[in-house]
Amino acid sequence: MSHVLELLFHDFTGTVRDVFMALLPIVCIFLVLQITGLHVKKRTFKKIMTGFVITFVGLTLFMQGVHIAFVPVGEHFGNVIGGLAYNWILIPIGFVIGFLVAFAEPAVHVMIKQVEDISSGTIKSKVMLIAISLGVAFAVAVAMARLLFGIPLLAILLPGYIIVFVLSRFVSPIFIAMAFDNGGVATGPMCSTFILSMSMAVAGALGGNPLVDGLGTVSLIALAPIITTMLLSFLYKRKNARGKEKALDTKVQSV
């Protein structure tokens, strides 16, 4: 029992310290603004401070779980699969893992909820979640293919961002803003821990340099959701065009 507790709470004080230092500037800024200009009501102030406490506890437990579970499992998984004779299976497995990790990413769920609220339900959170998850899935699959075939990182990133800039010429500003935010939230703690540690382990198992070949996966994960979100905007544009056409037909028939 003591061994299990020692494993679960290994370097727990360090995790507490890191989370505290990460949240401290945000809390201090809020308190300064509260004193100088915000002046939120007492009840609202208590809710916000309670939220900070809950966030602190939740992040501490989550990051501790990352250190004792996600990173070691990712490393072990990458070493085992990367060492197989049929290591091509990394590509489909990477696709599935990328989809599931993005689907469970807390930051992604916060983002899609805000999008649905701000758009008054026009942009459904479930649709946005699938778009982001597919983007991350393709990114991880491409990252695994890059490790297997030794593809340079710039050979993927450069054409990818050229596609982004070309698509931005035809996408509405709201989807451009959402696309780049989606790219940011997709690289949350789930992706940056499990997938990154897995990629570095795969690079080592394949005989490459984990620091040179393994790193760069997060940049691909940040890119892919931008493209899938922009492509999603074309579906919404087509849907709106069909709605207007249907409304026009109804109006003509009534005349």
Is pLDDT at 241 greater than 70 in this prediction?
A: no
Do the domain assignments include residue 247?
Answer: yes
d(CA 251, CA 248): 5
Same domain, 60 and 92: no
Cβ neighbours for 139, distance < 8 A, ≥ 6 positions apart: 98, 217, 220, 221, 223, 224, 225
- Pair (91, 56) in one structural domain: no
Segment 214-227, tens digit of pLDDT: 888 989 999 999 99
* 114 and 165 assigned to the same domain: yes
Contact 100, 56 (CB under 8 A): no
Please check whether residues 67 and 101 belong to one and the same domain.
no
Residues 154 and 193 in one domain: yes
Residue 250 clears pLDDT 80, i.e. is over it: no
**From start to end of the chain, where are the E strands?**
none
Single out the residue in 27, 48, 73 at which a domain terminates. Answer: 73
Of the residues 35, 52, 73, the one at which a domain ends: 73
| Same domain (yes/no): 219, 99 | yes
Average pLDDT, integer, range 1-5: 62
Q: Cα(39)–Cα(206) distance, rounded to whole angstroms?
A: 58
Closest CA to 185 of 102, 251, 98: 102
Residue 78 lies in a domain: no
Looking at residue 251, its pLDDT comes to: 42
| Residue 124 confidence (pLDDT) | 87
Please state the rounded mean pLDDT for residues 186-191: 82
One domain for residues 108 and 228:
yes
End residue of a domain, out of 50, 73, 96: 73
User: Residue 231's domain spans which residues?
Assistant: 83-254
Residues 141 and 116 in one domain: yes
* 120-142 pLDDT tens trace: 888 889 999 999 999 999 999 99
The percent of residues above 90 in pLDDT, for the chain, comes to 44
- Do 56 and 103 reside in the same domain of the chain? no
Residues 55 and 125 placed together within one structural domain of the fold: no
Looking at the fold, whether 162 and 211 belong to one and the same domain comes out as: yes
Given pLDDT bands bounded at 50, 70 and 90, which one contains residue 207? confident
Report pLDDT for 238. Answer: 77
pLDDT of residue 160: 94
Residue 60 maps to a domain: yes
52 belongs to a structural domain:
yes
If pLDDT is split at 50, 70 and 90, which confidence band does 1 have? low
Query: Exposed, middle or buried by CB within 10 Å (0-12, 13-18, 19+), for 18?
Result: middle
Q: Is residue 200 part of a domain?
A: yes
Tell me: the pLDDT tens digits for 72-117? 888 888 888 888 888 889 999 999 999 999 998 888 998 999 888 8
The better pLDDT of the pair 247, 69 is held by: 69
pTM for this structure? 0.82
Q: Among 190, 209, 192, 189, which Cα is nearest to 200's?
A: 209
Whether 127 is covered by a domain: the verdict is yes
42 and 125 both lie in a single domain: no
Q: How many structural domains are present in the chain?
A: 2
Distance CA 205, CA 153 (A): 19
